[in-house]
Amino acid sequence: MTAAQGDLVLRHPVERFTLDNGLRVVLAPDRSVPVVAVSVFYDVGMRSEPPGRTGFAHLFEHMMFQGSANVPKMEHARLVQAAGGTFNGSTHQDYTNYFQALPAEALERALFLEADRMAAPAITPENLRNQIDVVKEEIRVNVLNRPYGAFPWLQLPPIAFETFANTHDGYGSFVDLESSTVDDAQDFFDRYYAPANAVLCIGGDLDVTETEQLVRRWFDQVPARPAPPMPNTGEPSPTAVRRGVVEDPLAPAPAVAIGWRVPDPVNDLDTYLGTVLLTELLSEGDASRLERRLLHTDQLAVGQSSYLGLFGDPFDVRDATLLVTQVHHPAEVSTDAVLRAVHEEVEKVATDGVPAEELARVTARAEAQLLQQADSVLGRTLGFAAAELVHGRAELAGELAARLAAVTPDQVQTAARGLSPDTAAVLELRAGGAR
């Protein structure tokens, strides 16, 4: 261990309160740099979409930037950027978030903007039509016009899972996007964008008492609506191997993704933490097991990575989720050769366990990466917000490094025993690009 465990708990106190309309508020003051981050997380993501409306959570994220009751189109961006701040939003499996990082003196402006669109975004036919076009270009640039564009995050879930929530295309089909109406958008807003279905998290250079007053000034007036029931995304564990093939006409070389079901990240966090370190042990960096085996010892691959959750953050996702190992390999190497090597490396951990000294190294690296994410006010604030929404405890984000430091070799071995070749989902990408 290279750092005392006490040092690994981020020294940022967290304050929380709830408004009468149900909005949960988390404040994480840190006065070292005069910047603040403001984030609103809504408990609605790609997994909440109904059949026929694939891609709608993401399309609606775009609509939230189109103006609101007191903010004309384009003005949201202007008001944040003209204050010296940056903004964005993103749609995940289990939530949609909106955030700004700004000079501290712009805090109230950011609160006004978030409250105004929480109350009444400008859902008009023109704005919807325009953003359907923009989203289609986003899909073209990220998926259709690019080699490996959706690999594997859109293509593996249909193989690994059973339910519509988990298997459908979260970017959306063009047919579903094109047929989206203003009524759909209004219904979606009414149902999911209730203050009681959201967490507001503010971090950085702020005074707690003063900030609570500002929050109440702008958010108390957002009308209360009931929060929708939490979608049930869990699924029974797979009992057989599942395989699929995707042809990528643009890709110059093949690739393969393996997805294993992992423990429930929320209700079985202790077991899940073993899986988090197993993922690091397998794939993180030049000393990792798969980097050694696939790239250096056997020379089967040109690149490999493993991660938990399809978006790469192990702590912002609910059940059911996957540990994904992704390997890009030369055409001369067969998919089966890659699979065999990966399964053998996992099997070694399952059978022989993990030397304590190796686990200490892996843990040190994982801690450094968590701390690095927390280095920026925005990164820290998003971490607190996701922990509050998904795990019900913002404090968890500050404790993760210490929690990982306490994971034992036995926990990692147990995690490896869960990654059976007999229940893995395998997606093979065949390259169509000419050599």
Partner 1 sequence: MSAPVLVPPLGDPRPMPVPQVHETTMPNGLRLVVVPRPGVPLVELRLRVPFAAATPRTAAVHAARTAVLSGAVLLGTAQHDELQLAQLLQAQGAELSVSADADRLLLATTMLPGGLGEVLGIVAELLGSATYPARQVEAERSRVGERLRIARSQPGLIARTALAERRYGSHPYAQQLPSAELVGAVTPAALRKLHRERVLPAGSTLVLVGDVDPAAAADAVGTALAGWSAEGVAVTAPPAPVTAPGPLELVHRAGAVQSNIRLGGPAPGRTDPQLAAVRLASMVFGGYFSSRLVENLRERRGYTYSPRSSVEHLVAGSSFLVDADVATEVTGPALLETLYELGRMALTPVTEAELESARRYLLGTLALGTATHAGLASTLSALFGSGLSAEWLADHQQALAAVGVDEVTEAARRWLAPTGLTAVVVGDAERITDPLGAVGPVEVRPAPIAPAPQAGE
Residues 1-20 contacting partner 1, CB under 8 A: 2-3, 7, 10
Site membership for partner 1, residue 355 (CB under 8 A):
no
Of the candidate spans 129-137, 154-162, 317-325, 384-392, the one that interacts with partner 1 by CB under 8 A turns out to be 129-137
- For partner 1, the binding residue among 27, 44, 46, 101 (CB under 8 A) is 101
What are the structure tokens assigned to 376, written together? 């920026």
Nearest to 396 by CA among 14, 55, 122: 14
- Give the strands of the sheet with 35-42, arranged side by side: 15-18, 24-29, 198-204, 35-42, 96-103, 86-91
Quick one: how far is CA 107 from the chain centroid? 25
Counting contacts by CB under 8 A, is residue 435 touching partner 1?
yes
The verdict on 372 binding partner 1 (CB under 8 A) reads: yes
Q: Which of 235, 154, 238 is nearest to 425 (CA)?
A: 238
Chain positions 278 to 297 lying near partner 1, rule: CB under 8 A, are 284-287, 292, 295-296
17, 78, 179, 221: which one binds partner 1 (CB under 8 A): 78
Q: How many residues bind partner 1 (CB under 8 A)?
A: 88
Q: Answer yes or no whether residue 312 interacts with partner 1 by CB under 8 A.
A: no
- Confirm or reject binding of residue 147 to partner 1 (CB under 8 A): yes
52 binds partner 1 (CB under 8 A): no
Stretch near partner 1 under the rule CB under 8 A, chosen from 70-78, 309-317, 405-413, 418-426: 70-78
SS3 at position 155: coil
Q: How far is the CB of 3 from partner 1 (least distance, A)?
A: 5
Q: Tell me: does residue 258 bind partner 1 (CB under 8 A).
A: no
Tokens encoding 61: 């994220």
**SS3 per residue for 269-321:** HHHHHHHHHHHHHHHCCCCCHHHHHHHHHCCCCCEEEEEECCCCCCCCCCCCC
Q: Which stretch binds partner 1 (CB under 8 A): 45-53, 78-86, 346-354, 410-418?
A: 78-86
Q: Per CB under 8 A, which region of 83-91, 152-160, 264-272, 337-345 contacts partner 1?
A: 83-91
Q: How far is the CB of 345 from partner 1 (least distance, A)?
A: 15
Counting contacts by CB under 8 A, is residue 77 touching partner 1?
yes
Q: What would the two tokens of residue 244 be?
A: 């699929």
Per CB under 8 A, the segment of 19-27, 95-103, 334-342, 346-354 that binds partner 1 is 95-103
CA-based radius of gyration for the chain: 22
376 forms part of the interface with partner 1 (CB under 8 A): yes
- In 31-85, the DSSP E strands lie at 35-42
Among 26, 79, 324, 402, binds partner 1 (CB under 8 A): 79
Asked if 150 touches partner 1 (CB under 8 A), the answer is: no
Tokens 């950085």 belong to residue: 204
Q: What is the DSSP letter of 242?
A: E
212 in contact with partner 1 (CB under 8 A): no
CB of 348 to partner 1, least distance (A): 16
Task: Kindly tell me which of 43 and 248 has the beta carbon lying closer to partner 1.
Answer: 248
34 makes contact with partner 1 (CB under 8 A)? yes
Identify the CA nearest to 265 among candidates 415, 421, 40.
415
Does residue 254 have a cis peptide bond before it, meaning omega lies within 30 degrees of 0?
no
